[in-house]
Amino acid sequence: MATNLKKTAVLCLLGVSALATSAQAGGWSRGEADTDILYEDGQYVMRGGATLVVPHRQFATINGADATDDAFSQKYWIPSMAFKFQATENFGCALTYTQPFGADADYGTQAQAASPTRTRHKDFITNEYGATCDVSMQAGKGRLHFLGGVFMQDFSYTANSIAGTLNLEDDSAFGYRFGVGYDIPEYALRAQLMYRSAVEHEADEGTMDWNPAVRPGWGLRDAFGSGTLPQSVKLSLQSGVAPGWMVYGSAKWTDWSVMDSLDYSLGTPAPGVYSAQHDVYNWQDGWTLQAGVAHAFSEKFAGTVNVTWDKGVDTGADIYSDTWTIGAGVSVKHGPGELRFGGAVSYLTEGSQSTATGATYNATADGDWAYAISGSYRITF
């Protein structure tokens, strides 16, 4: 009986450590594919959930004057779905869905007036549909895992300015992930190193709906765009340290330096003639470090707290500064499955942008806050 209770508590800890409790990820990062489901017991395992993030980033000054605009960052949801099928003791696969990257901003009248293009709104979103398999074997007291798979990622971008509304879309681009892991569930021990490839997007069926006040008679024209979303490497570690207690941490590197710019071309009235445009970012690589502790209070209830640091990726063309996050979550075995829910608070450090380093106007931001809540439910059968 004691052994069963110990194993149940360990599994509860393993579940609660996977809670998505970061309120503000580095750069444009949002969700991660739930490949951790491959480590969980059961021939069939399903988990679905979502995270609501409410960032509050606003300018403190614009071109040297005190800013009066409201926060330009908009709230967003991060969905996550995963289904695992364990074909044999040594082979299993998981189908996953999430939104790995995205951004959404509405700019006030003061920021619009400062922008040469009078930009009012910008947003983009990606959807990732993945399949990842795990080949494992006994190694000492635990199991050695070799993970690998592919994913399809789409891309949708919208920008509204005085010139009109630009839409760029890429229905499908492909990438891959692979990694290696080792776990001993009895001791809540797991180590994993996972690589996710970069994705090249070619939006070759976009449109530009020109403002007739700016370009009379132009109307709807073709637009084309391209850009790269980054590769990343993540090392995750966790281990039991006392009965019912576990510590965990991770370090993730993201190749945001590939984000020099989003390049696109806008059709003109002369067939086959296009004007080249660039959204400049000039980002640097990002690092995300997390450390936390989890405790199983009983065989059905566990909790966790963690702290996360994201290194700012901007170099002055925009404001994506360092972020500190404190998160907490609980795991409750309820009904036929397990319910997880959590929350987080992030502090966004101050930053600035300048025309001398690629920005369209000068601006600063004081320290701001972001908030998140998340929930998921898992069924094993």
What DSSP state is assigned to residue 67? P
- Separation CA 10–CA 13 (nearest Å): 5
**For 21, phi and psi rounded to 5 degrees?**
-120, 15
What is the tens place of the pLDDT at every residue in 101-145?
999 999 999 999 999 999 999 999 999 999 999 999 999 999 999
Residue 33: Cβ-neighbour burial (10 angstroms; 0-12, 13-18, 19+): buried
Please state the separation of Cα 53 from the chain's center in Å: 11
- Separation CA 183–CA 330 (nearest Å): 22
pLDDT > 70? residue 152: yes
**For 14, phi and psi rounded to 5 degrees?**
-60, -40
Tell me the two tokens of residue 298: 């009983």
Q: How confident is the model at residue 334 (pLDDT cuts 50, 70, 90)?
A: confident
Q: What is the pLDDT, as a whole number, of residue 46? A: 97
Q: How confident is the model at residue 268 (pLDDT cuts 50, 70, 90)?
A: low
More confident residue, 68 or 267: 68
| Range with the poorest average pLDDT among 19-28, 95-104, 153-162, 255-264 | 19-28
- The answer to whether 153 and 117 are in contact (CB under 8 A) is no
Name every residue whose Cβ is closer than 8 Å to that of residue 236 and which is 6 or more positions away in sequence.
190, 191, 192, 193, 194, 248, 249, 250
Percent of the chain with pLDDT over 90: 75
What is the tens place of the pLDDT at every residue in 277-319?
888 999 999 999 999 999 999 888 989 999 999 999 999 999 9
Nearest to residue 77, comparing CAs of 52, 104, 103, 102? 52
Report the C-alpha dihedral over residues 358, 362, 368, 374, rounded to 10 degrees: -40
Query: What are the chain's domains?
Result: 2-380 (2.40.160.60)
What is the tens place of the pLDDT at every residue in 175-185?
999 999 999 98
pLDDT > 70? residue 2: no
What is the tens place of the pLDDT at every residue in 235-251?
999 999 998 899 999 99
* C-alpha distances out from residue 365 to 57, 67, 192, 200, 301, Å: 8, 9, 37, 31, 41
Helix (H) or strand (E) holding 46: strand 44-56
